[in-house]
Structure 1
Amino acid sequence: MSWQMIPLEEVAPTPWRNGGGVTRELIAWPTPQDWDWRISVAEIEKNGPFSHFDGVQRWFAVLGGAGARLTFNGQAHALTAQDPPLRFDGAKACGCELIDGPAEGFNLMLKHGHSRAHLVRVRGALNVEVRAGARVAVYAWDEPVIVQVGKDFVTVAPHTLAWRALADGASVRLEASTALWMEMVR
């Protein structure tokens, strides 16, 4: 399977139920109605709660703006575009307070029992050994990202999600000033 490219600008925004922002769902795999994992970018416009997702593990990373403070059970976690992604249980009540104006956030969600994943922020170079059967993705933020899988190279344009399956596993190298890297395995 080759790389699938999903530019953010080509995805229509969906308003949040609470009116606090909009989300652009980049991919829901295997289908939008019955997904195992889902990747989206949100524009957070005002303070308020995040939606509950029972049975879902979430990762959240700030992409732009001054950041956000997520609160669970009275404990606050301040996140900026320099911080690693935060993983949390989607069933927990989560309040979001913007640090200084609107923010852009990245979400990776996985249904419990369907897949395992991790999400890391890349600044510079990242070398990984990907297990057979994994699906991998990279989100290029403000700058292009160069991805090497074996001897093949691909350049991911800014504000674009690129993803693919790696049936046989592979050695992967990323070069990016700002990017997010994900691996999802069943």
Structure 2
Amino acid sequence: MTWQTIRLSDAVASPWRNGGGVTRELAAWPAGAADWTWRISVAEVAASGPFSCFPGVQRWFAVLSGSGVRLRLPQAEHRLTAASAPFEFDGAVPVDCALLDGPTQDLNLMVRRDRAVARMRRLSGRQRLLADAARTVAVYAAGAPARLRDENAVFELPAHGLAWRVVPAGVPVEVTTTDALWMEIEP
């Protein structure tokens, strides 16, 4: 299977009902299905307010640009900036988002817990994956391009672009970048 790619600028902006921002869906599986198993999107947050509730969904959240946010959950408060590690939380938990100093752009990975599990982390330098089982690998090149290498090719992913593919067990994937988010989704 080859890499599928999309640039953020090519994704359609969907305004939020509360007027607080827009979401650009970059990828979902199955593609085009309302009942997705996983979904990757970028939110442009213009105003503080509550997150939408997604029962049964594992969520990952990472600030891409802007001064950052303060997320208030029932048990804790978390301050996140573009330098912070991605934050994982239960989509059913109420979350209030306060912008620290103006709008932010944030990457979201959502996975239905009864169908898959996921991991997300910031990447700077070189990451090599040699999976023991098949999984979907996705890379979002945040502020800089990323070079992806697999068994078939080497290609450059431009900044603000997403690449993803199913990687079979035993097939290595290497990513080299100074600013990206690395995601793995296992069925």
Q: TM-score, normalised by structure 1?
A: 0.95
* Offset, 1:105: 0.3
Counterpart-to-counterpart distance in 1, 2:144 and 2:28: 24
Q: Which amino acid aligns with 1:101?
A: G
Q: Which residue is equivalent to 1:173?
A: 174
Equivalent residue pairs, number:
186
In the alignment, the residues of structure 1 paired with residue 110 and residue 170 of structure 2 have an alpha-carbon distance, to the nearest angstrom, of 22
Contiguous gaps of at least 5 residues in structure 2 = none
Q: How does 1:111-130 map to 2 (within 5 A)?
A: 111-130=112-131
The question of whether the paired residues in 1 share the 8 Å contact of 2:131 and 2:168 is answered with: no
Distance between the aligned counterparts of 1:162 and 1:127, measured in 2? 15
Q: Distance in 2 between matches of 1:45 and 1:28?
A: 24
**Residue identity matched to 1:72:** L
Distance in 1 of aligned mates of 2:168 and 2:85: 28
- Give the Cα separation in 2 of the matches to 1:100 and 1:130: 40
**Which aligned pairs between 1:1-186 and structure 2 lie closer than 5 A?**
1-31=1-31, 32-73=33-74, 75-150=76-151, 152-186=153-187
Q: CA deviation at 1:128?
A: 2.3
Q: Name the SS for the 1:73 alignment partner.
A: coil
Structure 1 vs Structure 2 CA RMSD: 1.3
Q: Is 1:132–1:170's contact at 8 Å kept on the other side of the alignment?
A: no
Q: Structure 1 unaligned runs (5+)? A: none
Aligned counterparts of 1:36 and 1:93: Cα–Cα separation in 2: 21
Per-residue CA distance 1:40-81 (angstroms, 9 max, x = gap): 000000100000001101000000001111110152100011
SS of 2:35's equivalent in the other structure is: coil
Post-superposition offset of 1:123: 1.3
Q: What is the TM-score of this pair, normalised by structure 2?
A: 0.95
Partner Cα distance (2:25, 2:104) in 1: 17
Partner SS state of residue 93, structure 2: coil
> Distance between the aligned counterparts of 2:19 and 2:84, measured in 1?
26
| 1:104 alignment partner, SS class | strand
Please give the secondary structure, in 1, of the residue aligned with 2:111: strand
Q: What is the distance in 2 between the residues matched to 1:154 and 1:115?
A: 28
Distance 1:170 1:16, change over 3 A: same
- 166-175 or 55-64: bigger deviation: 166-175
Inter-partner Cα distance in structure 1 for 2:38 and 2:130: 21
Q: Distance in 2 between matches of 1:125 and 1:98?
A: 32
